[in-house]
Amino acid sequence: MPKACRKIGVNYCHGTTKINLWCPNANKVSVLKPKDETIIHLEKADFGYWQKTTDLLQPEDEYFILLDDKTLPDPTALQQPDVHQASKVANLHAFEWTDEHWQIPAMQDLIIYELHVGTFTPEGTFEAIIQKLDDLLELGINAIELMPVAQFPGNRNWGYDGVFPFAVQNSYGAYTGLQELVNACHEKGIAVILDVVYNHLGPEGNYLNDFGPFFTDKYQTPWGKAINFDDAHCDAVRTFYIENVLLWLRDFHMDGLRLDAVHAIKDFSAKHILAEIKEHVDAFNQEQQKTHFLIAECDLNDRRYLEPLSQNGFAMDAQWIDEFHHALRVSAGGEKNGYYEDFNGISSLAKAYQDAFVFDGLYSPHRKKKFGSSAVGLAGERFVVFSQNHDQVGNRMLGERSSQLFSFEMQKLMAAAVFISPYIPMLFMGEEWSASSPFQYFISHTDEDLIEAVEEGRKKEFAAFVSQQEVPDPQAISTFEASKLRWDELNLPQHKTMLAYYKALIQLRKTHPVFKNTQRTGLKAYADETRQMLYLSRSSKDVKVLCVLNFSARQQSIQDSKIQAYELIFDSADEKWAGYPVGKDEISPTAIKIYQSNS
């Protein structure tokens, strides 16, 4: 059975090229091949689409769209080596996949590893990632999450300035390189999740509004006008993004998508765009007899994003919980400014363990209002937690990782705090060996005015930050180079120790019956704020564990009368982790002990 083809754009499909472009305000639309100046005139169809089936466009041919004689790149292009120049035809179906028997691990079994293609390796390519897959396997990773790969200006960017949502960044290896990477991951038993951005586009190379009303004045977002999901002419815009979702799942075999900042998607339609996307993914799952996940980044603590479609929810499979990170960071002694002011250290962390959402209707001093809804009844596998991620590192002025902000012992404690939770754990690339390189904000725009505006914006953002160091220049190649992981650090003793520690934590998470269990029943968290200690008890069938977390800088006694009857199964202060262990009913400074009872 022939593979389905994308319904919009310029698509080489089963030996011919089918063109279907949405240009509702145009009087005439053509495709220009600059090499021989061939012009292919499109025919007007219903609802603002222009169409043609032709043999004059073949894979790797360059082309422009002529929109009432205005020459533009194609915003639906599958190859866009330069955001201001010609688009290129792709043959998505030429790749020979070998993953037909692949099945993604169950959601509750995922150990996610977030990485940025350009800085994960010295080469900064998909091919170079393939060479590191065995390292990730040995660590215990079974899912990688790629930061956005949609084409952006230049060859270095976080990815959140993408302007061609269907084109894979050429400097990473373009669409063929991404297909090779996903196939290689599946052969090794690693799932691939792709970060996609459906709430805004970058400022340079964004030609969408030349083609139609892709944006609306009805709402504003932190990046300007909102994408038009519910205003006049929105049907084609919704189709554009639904087709984008299906492209990644169907033609790149992605196992799931991480949807960036869905709280910034403005849509008051009777059927929210996320719900419609979910319907299409469910239908695709049924057709393929495989599972594909949708994981949302959401800052609203609104359970509607996780509720089933039948209950008028948006049915996302999981969402990130930044609140867990914030509570953990404050517990570790991090600053309490900005949104961190809402968090009271270990009492907030205990609530995050217990209730998922820290703010579930409580008053938020930072927001100056009651905020959030209850997560009661939602399993732990519906939430993703972390001690670091690209935002929480990169949005700092200097892009410092935990390795630069916290002691070695505190880093171990923070890591364990993630893995003992009933939620899905996620690592940020390099944290497993306490990587020293920062992860700073970087761009490679070509518009001088825009470069200046971004540079000044970063300086203004951190103007109140007291530091002897300057804000790193986002445009400077040195900022990008400084953000690359230094793999040679793995030859140094302390980094080797941290890597071994993470491997042990992940193994415990994957094999222990309690920590494998993402059900939140049988979980109790108690914060002893006076002593800066947190007690977390969890159980599964006949096995019970007690986790004691000491966030203080002093050795303390464990105040549990049953502790002598428990078996100690993990101690972050063990000598093999370069620590200083103490007696069974004591805990070292800045450490975690895990005890087990079979009852």
Tokens 């996780």 -> residue: 306
Q: What angle do CA 393, 417, 508 make, to 5 degrees?
A: 115
CA 363 vs CA 342, 367, 579: distances in Å: 9, 8, 40
What is Dmax (Cα atoms) for the chain? 84
Q: Is 392 annotated as a binding residue?
A: yes
Q: Is 259 annotated as a binding residue?
A: yes
d(Cα 402, Cα 234) in Å, to the nearest integer?
43
CATH fold match for the domains 110-507 and 522-598: no
Q: Is 473 annotated as a binding residue?
A: no
d(Cα 170, Cα 266) in Å, to the nearest integer?
30
* Active-site residue, 481 included: no
Can you tell me whether residue 203 is helix, strand or coil? Answer: coil
Return the structure tokens found at 174: 């373009």
Q: Is 96 annotated as a binding residue?
A: no
Q: Transcribe 409-472 into DSSP letters.
A: HHHHHHHHHHHTSSSEEEEETTGGGT-------------HHHHHHHHHHHHHHTTT---SSPPP
pLDDT at 69: 83
Q: Is 573 annotated as a binding residue?
A: no
The whole-number mean pLDDT for each consecutive block of 10 residues of the chain, a chain of 599 residues, reads: 87 95 97 96 98 97 96 98 98 96 95 98 98 98 98 96 97 98 98 98 94 95 93 98 98 98 96 98 96 97 97 97 97 91 95 97 96 96 98 92 97 98 98 97 90 82 66 94 98 98 98 95 95 96 94 94 90 97 96 91
d(Cα 179, Cα 165) in Å, to the nearest integer?
16
Q: Is 101 annotated as a binding residue?
A: no
Q: Where are the domains of the chain?
A: 9-94, 110-507, 522-598
* Active-site residue, 123 included: no
Q: Which fold has domain 522-598?
A: Immunoglobulin-like (2.60.40)
Percent helix, strand, coil in the chain, to 5, is 30, 25, 45
Q: Is 325 annotated as a binding residue?
A: yes
Tokens 């400074």 -> residue: 589
Q: SS3 for 456-485, per residue?
A: HHHHHHCCCCCCCCCCCCCCCHHHHHHCCC
Q: Transcribe 223-263 into DSSP letters.
A: TEEEE-SSSTTHHHHHHHHHHHHHHHHHTS--SEEEETTGG
- What's the CATH code, domain 110-507? 3.20.20.80
- How many Å is the Cα radius of gyration of the chain? 25
* Active-site residue, selected from the candidate residues 161, 255, 267, 297: 297
- What's the CATH code, domain 9-94? 2.60.40.10
d(Cα 324, Cα 303) in Å, to the nearest integer?
16
d(Cα 250, Cα 270) in Å, to the nearest integer?
27
pLDDT at 337: 87
* Active-site residue, selected from the candidate residues 61, 145, 243, 260: 260
Nearest to 459 by CA among 469, 446, 449: 469
Beta bridge partners of residue 531, listed in sequence order: none
